[in-house]
Structure 1
């Protein structure tokens, strides 16, 4: 990839809610070029027509990653589902592409496998649980809080239609907090009297609770406590996909500066 050439992008899950907004933005840029898309539902169609993209260039839609990657590109962006995302990412890496992952639900084991392939191929995977700048800030502030307040838990909220639980944002936050330390619960979860499941799932030593109800879009909350005081940090999303587009474009533009697996949009941001 030269500095003067446009960065060629393939988007998997291109007709989804967030990905379609990203595709609309991609064709408005001067430095990025949307060259291919993956959508099993619209395979064989032209994304330009499906999304009414303001571009004269056709964007073919394929059913599989293997078909899509026959078209040369530089960055593979995955906005699909966890049951197929790992295959997409590993296939793209083995095609010598850099990868941005926006898909929720991939596990730490999935990412360990992905990291191994990325390192072998000397390519980058930037996994972002949430591209909204407010979530990046929540993660950063939470890491600071965990250094000074000994107990914390995470709550993630989403619509009743969201199939994965917890969200990718919650998983990323739990992963980050684990690098700071472990919460010192007064009563260990295993010593809970009654129904231990009400204490949530233990993920990287942090209790994570997921709410899935109509009326919610996406929200993420980290709660920190110590004697006689508490701190609540919360991100709430509206119904528009706009907050995720700016961060996704930044990830696409900067992923080539990395090597191996990196988690979080802050990996390509300056603080």
Structure 2
């Protein structure tokens, strides 16, 4: 039985992850973390009335239940501190919070290697999204002209999404270097052409009603190719989260991207 703590359990992704842990036969929910929750136990909340699980207000309190895995769906400025704390206390982090900097990722990975603690940070836990990124990387070998359009709900805090950045990084590894668009192109409104990543453009859409969607659009002479993934419900991410929880306890370092575990 893998003992799991969920940080950010009141958010939409955190709540979905909490339910997944509760329903999973191989997992035991030993605690949840939220510094702003007034209740002390999940059973005080109507939706969890049958559960006797402590609600922690600080990271330090978590140590008392000795979790094996720390699931984190918080916000970027909190996720870094949480992940570092977990690693320092030999708790394997499974992090779905995006927005961590490259320097933070490098620091956390180095520390995990030093302490021999396994962990996973994934910009997207949907298996279909991982396949979408891998297909896009393959296509980029043949279609250097490509733009990414990522679409998310209007409460998402970071732009572009972690998935879009990860996709661009993967394509950049195999794509011929090229700056797209006409050399004399001028933006009549700043940002009209989107963010630039190694010559590729990334566009972020934020609207109510959306969950998580990404389209990678390639253009060639006389043809085009579009690779798209849609998450219509947050449950689409839980297969990947569960897999991460099962695998990280067997690792001795932090990895970035669910594809490393498939």
Same fold at TM > 0.5: yes
| CA pair 109-203 structure 1, distance change in 2 beyond 3 A | farther
Asked whether the 8 Å contact 1:61–1:68 carries over to 2, the reply is no
1:65 to 59, 70, 85: 59
Deviations 1:168-209 (A, max 9, x none): 2212222322333355234477x5323563222223553211
Contact 2:94–2:245, Cα closer than 8 Å, also in 1: yes
SS at structure 1 position matched to 2:23? coil
User: What is the CA-CA distance between 1:50 and the residue it aligns to?
Assistant: 2.6
State the alpha-carbon separation in 2 of the partners of residues 203 and 120 from structure 1.
32
What residue is the counterpart of 1:267 in the other structure? Answer: 260
The aligned residue for residue 3 of structure 1 is none
**Over aligned residues, Cα RMSD in angstroms?**
2.2
2: distance between equivalents of 1:67 and 1:181? 47
Q: Structure 1 pair 182/62, CA: closer, same or farther in 2 (3 Å)?
A: farther
Matched, 1:206 2:207: no
Pick aligned residue for 1:157 from 147, 151, 166: 151
Matches of residues 1-271 of structure 1 in structure 2 within 5 Å? 6-50=1-45, 52-53=47-48, 56=51, 58-181=52-175, 183-187=177-181, 192-195=185-188, 197-203=191-197, 205-238=199-232, 240-269=233-262
Q: Distance in 2 between matches of 1:252 and 1:51?
A: 27
Query: Could you list the runs of 5+ residues in structure 1 that have no partner in the other structure?
Result: 1-5
Q: Relative to structure 2, which stretch is displaced further, 77-86 or 13-22?
A: 13-22
Question: CA 1:258 to 1:153, structure 2 compared with 1: closer, same or farther past 3 Å?
Answer: farther
* Contact 1:132–1:243, Cα closer than 8 Å, also in 2: yes
> Aligned partners of 1:262 and 1:169: how far apart in 2?
15
SS in 1 for 2:203: strand
Q: 1:31 to 1:122 in 2, by over 3 A?
A: same
What is the rounded CA distance, in whole Å, between the counterparts of 1:134 and 1:223 in structure 2? 17
Change (3 A) 1:206 1:112: farther
State the SS of the aligned residue for 2:249.
helix
Q: Do the aligned residues in 2 keep the contact of 1:182 with 1:205 (CA within 8 Å)? A: no
Cα-to-partner distance string for 1:80-109 (whole Å, 9 max, x where unaligned): 000110000001000012111101222222
Give the whole-Å Cα distance in 2 for the aligned partners of 1:54 and 1:132: 30
Structure 1 length as normaliser, TM-score?
Answer: 0.87
Counterparts in 2 of 1:148 and 1:246: CA distance versus 1, 3 Å = same
Cα separation, 2, equivalents of 1:51 and 1:220: 35
Alpha carbons 1:172, 1:263 under 8 Å: kept = no
> What SS is found at the alignment partner of 1:30?
coil
Gaps of 5+ in 2: none
How far the C-alpha of 1:43 sits from its partner, in A, is: 4.8
